[in-house]
Amino acid sequence: FTLHKFFLWVFTVYSLSLQTDWEGGYYPLALHFTEDYPSKPPKCKFPQGFFHPNVYPSGTVCLSILNEDSGWRPAITVKQILVGIQDLLDSPNPADPAQTDGYHLFIQDTVEYKRRVRQQAKQYPPLV
C-alpha cells in the first residue's frame, strides 16, 4: 500500500489582452502538485474537451515550461506558470499541437477557429 500525496490548486484564468477572441471567458484551471514538486512540474488541466491547439482532449496543457524532460526548472514559480498559460491562450504554439481539431482550425480556418474560441468564452462567463 502506497500513499500518494498531492496538492490541488484551482484557478480561474482569463486572457491578458483586451479585445481578443478569448476576452470575457474565465476558464477553470487545476494545478496538480505531487510530492515531487518542485523537482517535477505540476500537471495543469482545463476542463476535458477544452478547445485550444495546445490543450490535449483530456484538458492537460501542453506548454514547454511544464515539460519535465526539457523545459521545467524547479525555480519556475506558480505565477510564471499561470502567466505562461495566459500567454498561450492568445498566442497558440502551432509547433507543439496537442489536439487535432484546434490545431487544424488555427492553421487552416482562422475564421472558424475564432468563432469557436468566442463560443467557448461564452461557456465560461465571470462568476461574479
CA–CA separation, 12 vs 52, rounded Å? Answer: 16
pLDDT band at residue 126 under the 50/70/90 scheme: confident
pLDDT in tens, 46-75: 999 999 999 999 999 999 999 999 999 999
Domains defined along the chain, listed by start: 6-123 (3.10.110.10)
Residue 122 class from Cβ within 10 Å (0-12 exposed, 13-18 middle, 19+ buried)? Answer: exposed
CB-side exposure of 63: number of CA atoms within 13 Å?
Answer: 26
Residues designated as active site: 62
pLDDT(3) > 60: no
Task: Give the residue-averaged pLDDT of 96-123.
Answer: 98
pLDDT band at residue 128 under the 50/70/90 scheme: low
Spatial contact of 26 and 126, defined as CB atoms under 8 Å apart = yes
Q: pTM for the full model? A: 0.92
Average pLDDT of the chain, as a whole number: 93
pLDDT of 4 reads: 54
